[in-house]
Amino acid sequence: MVSAPAPLAAKVALVTGASRGIGLAVADELRAAGAHVVRLARSLTDGAAERETILRCDVTRPDDVDRVLARVQAEIGVPDIVVSSAGVFYVKPFAETTPAEFMETIGVNLTGPFLVARALLPKLVQRGTGHMVTIGSSSDHIPYAGNSAYVASKYGLRGMHEVMAVELANTGVRTTLVSPGAVDTDMWNAIDPDTKPGFRKRKDMMRAEDVAEAVLFAVTREARLTVTEIRLAPSKR
């Protein structure tokens, strides 16, 4: 019996924030589906494995993004799938959020996806194929108290993604916004939600793999279909 080919065989997928959490889970899911995955994160050390390229990249720095993505295109090719997943997260009342925390959150969560998309979109449009996936959050449409910087970054990210989707209509480049609710990753470690009233317990949160499976679903649809948005939430309220 001949096995079916891997759905992403011969595809190149680039994933930011791929050192941990959702980004790492997405990278693993796409690689398991046959893609050559390029993992980017500022905490990584350059390396390689079978169908995997690992590169250190700070997505908040235009020079770093341009340098690393030029290398990717020269050595591997223009990615078929681009997943922007890098993120930081602070939980503080509005008045206690420092300017540095606010700017860092905007830089990683909003400026980073902009810089990556800006560098790659012309090549994807020129080729006439590609898929831009943005990892949003329920915070891109729900204004949670104590999340001023994060909510601002995610509302902005949703707006940027939607403009990108409009501009890419009929180019052959598809766009998907994946907006999950609470996901149990190490971003929660410093907050320790299990000990705080009003927070969802970690055992009741979603897993990073849930988000990765949603991304895989979106990018493996036939070219005639676009999954414009996926919202995920834990079943337990």
Question: Could you count the other beta carbons within 10 Å of the beta carbon of residue 156?
Answer: 17
CA distance 37 to 51: 6
CB 109 within 8 A of CB 150: yes
Give how far the C-alpha of residue 103 lies from the chain's centroid of Cα atoms, to the nearest Å.
Answer: 19
Give catalytic residues, as residue numbers: 150
Selection from 124, 123, 126, 155 nearest residue 138 by Cα: 155
The residue whose two tokens read 């898929």 is 131
